[in-house]
Amino acid sequence: MIKLLVLLSLFIVLSQCATSSLHKSSRCYNLQNVCVPQEEAVTGVKWKDCSDYCRNCKGMMGGECKRQNSDDCKNGYKCQCSGKPFPKTDNLKIAATCRLGL
């Protein structure tokens, strides 16, 4: 019961931030070695690097910052996941952060 209340509270807080944060994982970054959010999310989760994000959120073994030249990212870098399948996290805070794209 307590776990359900904690999850519900976390969902409410995160859903209030979701509108402005849903697309953060697809942001464009200026530095090749930094292509995931470096600030701590509302959930308290901070990604170490692109591979950390890919393992926990996308279920892929790793990832790299790749140069993009698209409408939403002109000559910037985005995290591209690759490699063998990897078990996604079962940590509820990290899973919620992934689902919200933080």
Residue 23: predicted pLDDT: 38
The pLDDT tens digits along the chain (102 residues) read 676 555 555 555 444 444 333 334 468 888 888 888 878 777 788 888 999 999 999 999 999 999 988 888 888 999 999 999 999 999 999 998 888 877
Q: So what's the pLDDT on residue 33? A: 83
pLDDT for residue 18? 40
DSSP annotation string for 54-95: IIIII-EEEEEEEEEEETTEEEEEEEEEEEEE-PPP--HHHH
Q: Which residues contact 40 (CB under 8 A, 6 or more apart)?
A: 46
Q: What's the distance, Cα to Cα, between the start and end of the chain in Å? A: 27
The whole-model pTM stands at: 0.68
